[in-house]
A and B are shown apart, each in its own frame.
Chain A
Amino acid sequence: MIPAKFDYVKPSSLDEAVRALADGGEDAKVIAGGQSLLPLLRLRLSYPDLLVDVGALDDLRGVVDEGSSLLVGARTTHYQVVHDPLIAEHCGLLAQATQTVADPAVRHRGTFGGSLAHGDPAGDLPAVVLALDGVMVIRGPGGSREIPAAEFFVDYLTTALQPGEILTGVRVPKLGGDWGYRYEKFHRTAQAWATVGVAALVRRSNGNVAEARIGLTNMGSVPLRASAAEAAAAGAEATRDALNAAAASAADGTEPPADLHGAPDYRRHLAKVLTGRALAAAAGA
């Protein structure tokens, strides 16, 4: 279907883009890869008055080494994330999860920042950034600000981004060699959204799990951390049984959605099973 009428600008600098967005107010929308927004436009579920294309802002593209962390530009495509050597070396979880995003065509056009700013709880990357304790770098009319991922995802398709603000990048910590990781995704077809996804990071020490971080995809209206399971896994033996036992509390406190792909109970069950698998793989058990 043909989208409703909208104005379109393609600024050549970030400041210009922020100004255009601020002028457009509530009904202006950033478009980057367009892999989420265009379907919404074409289904006529979304009626922005103005699209601000950030496609010409090459500063927002690529990965920068900042010493103890990496700054991943918002316009970096999924394909680039998957193949970036810095990410592969320091933040393999991100590459692994991004590899499961939709299909190759989407991964070539869709962007890392776009996926996060869309705030879809079924998207893979929000839960991953949450598990990584990423920091969102935001530029608005009043300057730059940074907020932790945990405060960024506010509600269903809703983020802490104010009208006029652009997500410019995400700072993710470099993980040392003692960290293991795994993204487990359950979906019906290869390019589908996750029915449930689990991102697990585990720091090992002497055959035990010293620290675990677990992010859940599509288990609520925002990506979630499975805090109960994280606490249970911390200090546990790095064995399948012990980690499965810890994963039993993975769905605690969640209110997963009900839709064609699964009922809430089914999703809670999946969360436990997938968390067990992800923890085991991350811990090398």
Chain B
Amino acid sequence: MELEHSFTVPVPKNRAWDVLLDVERVAPCMPGATLDSVDGDEIHGRIKVKVGPINMMYAGTARFIEKDAEAGVVTLEASGKETRGAGTASASVHSVLEDRGAETHVRVKTTLNVTGKPAQFGRGVMNEVSGKLLNIFAANLAATIARDEGAGGEGGAAAGGAAGTEGSSAEGAAGGSAAAGGAAAQTATAGTAATANGVAGHAAAAPGTGTPVEELKLPPRATASLQREGLRTAGQVAAKTEDELLAIDGIGPASLVDIKDKLGELGLALTAGTGGPAAGPAQAAPAATPASAGPAAAAPTGSAPAGMAASAAPAASAAHQATPREAAHQLEDDALNLLKVAGLPVLKRAAPVLLAVAAALLIGLTRRARRRKR
């Protein structure tokens, strides 16, 4: 299905262009949308749709596939999967900006394709819903662009508003724009976000080590187990090897993955001990992901477009951000581990068969043995 919208905003074309390419400002215009992470031109996010009794949730990615500042044409392609079902949704959003002096006319053409139950439910539920959503989106976008004009210079005022929480994030402020600092401050609990270094986007290992274990937000059982072993801080946990942790009562492979995740967010990793193939993701992460310093640091990555951190809204959305690595984990979680799920039941069923075979062999052998005796 195709949907068309147009609106006029009271700012010159180049200003409108900046806003339209600023994912962190555009995303909050979509009702129910949450940004998970922004990695260059690739955007990970979720959208929650609620219409009367119907609610749907999609998670997916969006990508700019065309950006032509001269012509004022930008095309965004998005595709997502239902988080609680098998349905999919994909959209191509084609926007054309038209210069009208002090004003800009924006035409948005959206092609939408939805599969799965919501689509089968038929009777145009999705058409209704998406049409409504895009109406609200277009209205919000127009309002956002108009409001930013009123807010004056590049994000200064807006960033000030965002930074009004706790000013403990010196690194964030150094990391470029003031707004980035605001974003970091929003989520910074002392210690956790302190590793954010917006300039280079690399994690400094040290500052997170003092974080108490209970602040790692591990499952209660894992936290208790670690504490029982006298591991009180993230640094102490990181000093252990994988095998040492696995040896602790109450820490299994699943907890280990969690621990590595959380340490990774702090820019820490387990000590490479006896190694093994599983030394894996946590250790590789800090180097591989620019935003390894956790939720707060995801916003001010070096790869993000310069203008993106310039309003109050992104600061709020930054609180929800996850590192790309976490997104990868969610994907892995989707894959069904058959052995894990069905291994034991299969073995249980196989047991009688194996017993029967063993018994038959035993009987056969004894008979043969008897025959030989004779």
Contacts and interface: CB of A to CB of B under 8 A. Distances in A.
Interface stretch (B117-125, B194-202, B272-280): B117-125
A122 interface: yes
Interface in B46-86: 51-56, 84-85
A2 interface: no
B15 interface: no
Interface of B: 1, 51-56, 84-85, 117-118, 121-124, 127-129, 132
B129 to A, nearest CB: 7
A36 B53 CA distance: 10
Interface string A142-165: 000000000000011111000000
A150 B231 CA distance: 65
A188 to B, nearest CB: 12
Given A122-B123, A156-B132, A259-B124, A47 B84 contact: yes
A56 to B, nearest CB: 22
A166 to B, nearest CB: 15
B186 to A, nearest CB: 25
Interface stretch (A37-45, A89-97, A130-138, A201-209): A37-45
A29 interface: yes
B89 to A, nearest CB: 14
B127 A118 contact: no
Contact of A45 (B1, B121, B127, B132): B121
A48 interface: yes
A43 B121 contact: yes
A119 interface: yes
A43 B55 contact: no
Given A43-B117, A44-B117, A45-B118, A158 B51 contact: yes
Contact of B123 (A40, A159, A261): A261
A46 B53 contact: yes
Nearest to A260: B122
B124 A157 contact: no
Given A37-B53, A158-B52, A259 B122 contact: yes
B128 A257 contact: yes
Contacts of B85: 44
Contacts of A44: 84-85, 117
A49 to B, nearest CB: 11
Smallest CB-CB A-B distances: 6 pairs: A157-B52, A259-B124, A257-B124, A46-B53, A156-B128, A45-B54
A4 B54 CA distance: 13
Contacts of B129: 156
B326 to A, nearest CB: 24
B52 A156 contact: yes
Nearest to A29: B53
Contacts of B117: 43-45
A231 interface: no
A258 interface: yes
Contact of B54 (A40, A159, A257): A40
17 contacts: A43-B117, A44-B84, A45-B53, A45-B117, A155-B132, A156-B52, A156-B129, A156-B132, A157-B52, A157-B54, A158-B52, A221-B132, A257-B127, A257-B128, A259-B122, A259-B124, A260-B123
Nearest to A221: B128
A193 B123 contact: yes
A156 B53 contact: no
Nearest to B53: A46
Interface in A164-206: 193
Contacts of B128: 156, 221, 257
Interface string A243-285: 0000000000000011111000000000000000000000000
Given A43-B121, A155-B132, A259 B127 contact: yes
A20 B358 CA distance: 61
Given A40-B54, A46-B55, 13 more contacts: A36-B53, A43-B117, A44-B85, A45-B53, A45-B56, A118-B52, A118-B53, A157-B51, A157-B52, A157-B54, A193-B123, A221-B128, A257-B124
A8 to B, nearest CB: 16
Interface centre among A37, A45, A221 (most CB of B within 10 A): A45
Contacts of A259: 122-124, 127
Contacts of A257: 123-124, 127-128
Nearest to B128: A156
B111 to A, nearest CB: 15
Interface centre among B56, B84, B123, B127 (most CB of A within 10 A): B123
Given A43-B121, A45-B121, A47-B84, A258 B51 contact: no
A277 to B, nearest CB: 24
B81 to A, nearest CB: 14
A193 B121 CA distance: 13
Nearest to B51: A157
A88 B230 CA distance: 79
B358 to A, nearest CB: 40
A134 B360 CA distance: 80
A3 B250 CA distance: 34
Nearest to B57: A47
A44 B82 CA distance: 11
A112 B247 CA distance: 63
Contact of B51 (A36, A47, A48, A156): A156
Nearest to A36: B53
Contacts of B124: 257-259
Interface in A11-41: 29, 36-37, 40
